[in-house]
Each structure stands twice: as structure tokens, then as C-alpha cells.
Structure 1
């Protein structure tokens, strides 16, 4: 049974953000399923809820687990959700976890400031798309530049999704995670705030900081992130029980 990869996107974006990873894994014979959470991508007309998001992740993980050990990968909001999911009291059928750009506790002043900034951009003409496009053009390589917005931007889901993250019990979840875990951050990522805490709470977890990258680490240096995926896949294959 080969490793199955489930990919969970961040806020505002969609499954399209993982195009480089899905294509790369396919070239190496690895099956990857990039999800759209409620209110995002192909499910833009739906309302985002935490229950709906976790149900989406759980369904994909359990389906993938029928074909092989599952590596769950999340970016930003998706990373926070997958971390909480991996640390459920009733352990989900996971063999490994990668959390990218998600090592900050989403509460208090930091979360309030993030929501305020997001609302400010949303209030700009064209919902701030000119600025977004300029930022992506300056920071992302051409091969991944279009991927973040290819599935559309979930403007209407943004504030409710951010607000809902405050109820996550990440400290408890982190202490329950028992599978090989990697946290991946860009050198200049604003969500590196609690990275040492996250790593310290998960036995054996590894922290990988990618130089010259920001929050969009998966797209800024896709080859590096793909190498992390292979590291995780190889680890899971090594540790998998031998067929009876």
C-alpha cells in the first residue's frame, strides 16, 4: 500500500494552491487529494464552519486510509485545522503530518489585528485584488504564481473563518499527536511566533525553516517543499509495518 497525501489549503485560496505539489507527486507515483473547504474554491457558495471543515478533512483522510498510510498536509489556516484534527482524542487514521506556515496560536490581539487588516484589504476597490496581484508578482515564481487564485478568492468566507479559529484548542491537540510531524515555515513568515512551542509539544517533531521565503512557502520555493513531502513519505514508508 502506497502513501496517500491529503492537502488542505489556507484561508481565501483553494485546492488550486497545491497544483505544483499534486503534479510533482503524480510524477513520482504518489496519489494526492487537494481539498476545497466549505466556502472556498468549488464550494464558494457554501458557508464556512469548523464542523464542515473538519468533516471534509475527516472524509478525505478516511477514504485515503483505505488505500494506504495517510500523510496529512495543511498550509496556514489549513495547517491549524489539520493540527487540531491530528490531535483529536479519538485518533484519526494518520501516518504523518506536515503543518506549513501555521505555528501561531490564533487568539487575542494577534488574531484581532489580522482580521482588521483583512477587512481593510476587503474594503479597497476591487477588494484589494490589485495589491494582491502585485504582491504575488513580486514574490512568487512564474510556475506557481497563478495557482493561489486559480480557484477564486473566498472573500466572503474570510472573516467568519478567521473568527472561528479562536476556539481551536491547539495546545491540547499538539500534546496528543503521536505521528511523525514536520512544521515548515518561511524565514520571514509572520506566523512563526510560537514555532518552538509547537515543536516542543509534539514528541519528535521537526522544524524546517526555509530561507528567503514568507508565509507562502509552498509556492515561493515549491522544490524545497516537495523535498519535505518526500522526506515525510520516505519516513512513513520506512516505519510502515511489513505486510503479513
Structure 2
């Protein structure tokens, strides 16, 4: 579904159902160099169980017009503007990796508009190594390959996992390449990483959040290991759910993540 947000076209996946702003709303926010497709299972479940779903493509990512936004704070303001465009008064915000920081910042900026906060594969601070920042700028395809290697645990190595015909590592690599190529912005990965690396407002935002918070972490996550989420989890007084997966846990442990999300949305 397409919206006009801040004068530019924005795309959201609605889970296979027409969006109804009168239903309890769930907004899904993807991570660096991802798009709405990382949420397909979760978005479809919510849309078919009484929720209105907005799984976003952030500006400059896949189907949403650019330019890409250069800070977590700007992305959070964009999410709140999307709620205005969709005539949504209050929503649950669910974010993965970079998107988890965006969800947190939005919840801190407008606590009355957020009913639940779910941060998946999160960390604070979400620092990116200088080597990876440099690689994402000068050789983004190599950066995609490296991050793919680090983002999926050993349980996801075999083809046909988690079901026949599925290769999550190959799918993850292909998604990054497609998002990078879609709007011809060779610096998109670098911009996303710079936004993660530069975000310093998580604890201030957490102090303003009034919604119940849940952290869903991957036990085998090398990018944002569970211990890296401890400080922000304490600040939010969040419930912690841990699943046996790496960083892109929605792909590696889809049923477990769905179950954790269902509990968080209750």
C-alpha cells in the first residue's frame, strides 16, 4: 500500500489484508539494507488475527522513494509521520536491528502513540566497526557478503532450512543486493551503518517510553549479542525473550519469533 509521507511516496506491506486504521495497529520497521519482506510471516499472522499492519520500506529502501534518511532520529520522525498519513492514533512498534533503534526513538518522542515496543536483534550502543564502515562505503557487495556470514548462525547453513527450497543465507545476501540496486544508491548500506553507529539517544528515549517493552534476542547472534542489549533492556524494564538463532532471527527461527511476538502484543 502506498502513502504520501512528507511529500514523498512511501510503501507499506499490509500482510495480505486491506489496511483498516480502526484495528489495533502494528508497525514493522526493518534493519539496515533490508525491506518489508523480512516481516512476511509476522505481518501476515498479525493481519489475519485482528491487527492492522504497516510493514514499512524506510525512505530510499526498495519501494519507498528516497533519499534515504541519515539518522535514527530522522527515521523515527518519518515513522510518526507515516502514522499521521495512515490516520493511526496509536500503534505497536516492532523493529529489527537498526529498526529497533528507530522504534525506540519513536516511542520516546511520542509515548502516547505507542502501545507496545518490541525490539528484535537489538543492542545499545549499536557500534559498527571502522573496518565494516569503510567496506560498506568502498565495497558494499563485499560488506553484504561479510554481514551475511556474521548474521546467520551455523544452524542456518544447510539448504532447505527452515523448510524445503529455502536457503536463508542466500536469501539474505540476495535481499541486500536487491535493496542496494533498487534506487541506485551505492552508499545506502554505509548510510544505514552510519545511522546505527551514530545513534546516542537510546537511554534518553527509554526514559520517556511508557509502553510495555519486549526484547527478542538471538542466542547465537554475533552482530548484536544478547549481552549488548542488557543496558537498554534494564532501562526499559523490558521482558526478554531469547531464541536459538543468529542476528536475522525472523528467518532462522520464524515460529519461535512469532510466538514471542504474540506474547508481546497481548
Shorter-normalised TM-score: what interval?
0.7 to 0.9
Are residues 226 and 167 of structure 1, via their aligned partners in 2, closer, same or farther at CA, if it must alter by over 3 Å? closer
2:118–2:213 contact (8 Å) kept in structure 1: yes
Which residue in 1 is equivalent to 2:201?
169
Higher-RCO chain (CA-CA 8 Å, sequence separation at least 6): 1
Which residue in 1 is equivalent to 2:78?
56
1:13–1:40 contact (8 Å) kept in structure 2: yes
Quick check: 1:196 aligned with 2:222?
A: no
1:99–1:182 contact (8 Å) kept in structure 2: yes
Which residue in 2 is equivalent to 1:24?
45
Which residue in 2 is equivalent to 1:238?
none
Distance 1:118 1:214 in 2: 21
Which residue in 2 is equivalent to 1:207?
240
Instruction: String of CA shifts for 1:190-213, please: whole Å, max 9, x gaps.
Output: 31343221111113x1111112x0
Structure 1 residue 43: Cα displacement: 2.9
Structure 1 residue 233: Cα displacement: 2.1
What 5-or-longer segments of structure 2 have no aligned partner? 1-21, 181-185
Structure 1 residue 10: Cα displacement: 0.4
Which residue in 2 is equivalent to 1:46?
67
Quick check: 1:33 aligned with 2:54?
A: yes
User: Any idea what SS the aligned residue of 1:168 has?
Assistant: coil
2:43–2:55 contact (8 Å) kept in structure 1: yes
Distance 1:32 1:144 in 2: 27
Are residues 151 and 20 of structure 1, via their aligned partners in 2, closer, same or farther at CA, if it must alter by over 3 Å? farther
Which residue in 2 is equivalent to 1:91?
111
Q: Figure out how many residues of one structure are paired with residues of the other and give that number.
A: 225
What 5-or-longer segments of structure 1 have no aligned partner? 235-244
Which residue in 1 is equivalent to 2:250?
218
Distance 1:123 1:16 in 2: 20
1:20–1:144 contact (8 Å) kept in structure 2: no
The correspondence for 2:33, drawn from 3, 8, 12, is: 12
Please report the RMSD computed on the Cα atoms of aligned residues, expressed in angstroms: 3.1
Are residues 122 and 95 of structure 1, via their aligned partners in 2, closer, same or farther at CA, if it must alter by over 3 Å? same
Instruction: String of CA shifts for 1:127-150, please: whole Å, max 9, x gaps.
Output: 7569959x8772753468447729
Which residue in 1 is equivalent to 2:7?
none
Structure 1 residue 59: Cα displacement: 2.2
Structure 1 residue 115: Cα displacement: 1.9
1:64–1:70 contact (8 Å) kept in structure 2: no
1:17–1:149 contact (8 Å) kept in structure 2: no
1:42–1:151 contact (8 Å) kept in structure 2: no
Distance 1:64 1:156 in 2: 30
Are residues 93 and 131 of structure 1, via their aligned partners in 2, closer, same or farther at CA, if it must alter by over 3 Å? closer
1:14–1:40 contact (8 Å) kept in structure 2: yes
2:207–2:235 contact (8 Å) kept in structure 1: yes
